[in-house]
């Protein structure tokens, strides 16, 4: 036999901290979310798609660990989330943001009405985060930076 026998033989195991592995059902959920996008998601996506925001590549409704994130720029490790009123003071959103930060992703959150009424300001804020002009946590702009240092993100040693 080529593979050692063991108690997990024949069982697909997935390390809990491996965020690159898809969780069962998350791809289907992401596809459903893409098909049934909100008006705000549609509007913001029209500005982020095809590298329209200064050449940064974004993807939408992407499974990431146990979550599906609204928009992600993998190159800069930035996640943009759009929240409706039901997200106000939501404990599961706080846990979600903390988990994403621990995985090396910064999270930028916007309210639905900000996308509708102040889309240029939303894009300017997103661009500032992408360009590294925002580095500290800010509850006003709802920016939550990654918990990892730049060295940890790139894997380089000093």
Q: Which residue do the tokens 């993998």 mark? A: 74
50: CATH = 3.40.960.10
Query: What pLDDT was estimated at residue 87?
Result: 55
Overall domain count for the chain: 1
d(CA 104, CA 17): 12
Q: Using one digit for the tens of pLDDT, what is the confidence trace for 121-149?
A: 999 999 999 999 999 999 999 999 998 76
Higher pLDDT, 29 or 8: 29
Q: Using one digit for the tens of pLDDT, what is the confidence trace for 74-122?
A: 999 999 999 887 656 678 889 999 999 999 999 999 999 999 999 999 9
Spatial CB neighbours of 132, under 8 Å, sequence gap ≥ 6: none
**Structural domain of 83:** 33-149
d(CA 125, CA 131): 10
Q: Is residue 15 part of a domain?
A: no
């Amino acid at each position: 036999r080529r593979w050692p026998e063991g108690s997990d033989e024949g069982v697909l195991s997935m390390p809990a901290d491996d965020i690159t592995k898809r969780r069962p059902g998350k791809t289907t959920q992401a596809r459903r979310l893409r098909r049934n996008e909100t008006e705000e998601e549609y509007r913001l996506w029209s500005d982020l798609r095809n590298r329209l925001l200064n050449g940064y590549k974004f993807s939408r409704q992407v499974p990431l660990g146990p979550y599906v994130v609204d928009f992600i720029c993998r190159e800069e490790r930035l996640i943009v989330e759009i929240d409706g009123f039901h997200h106000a003071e939501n404990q599961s959103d706080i846990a979600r943001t903390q988990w994403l930060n621990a995985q090396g992703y910064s999270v930028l959150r916007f309210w639905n009405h900000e996308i509708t009424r102040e889309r240029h300001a939303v894009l300017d804020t997103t661009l500032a985060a992408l360009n590294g002009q925002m580095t500290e946590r800010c509850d006003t702009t709802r920016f939550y930076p990654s918990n990892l240092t730049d060295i940890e993100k790139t894997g380089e040693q000093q």
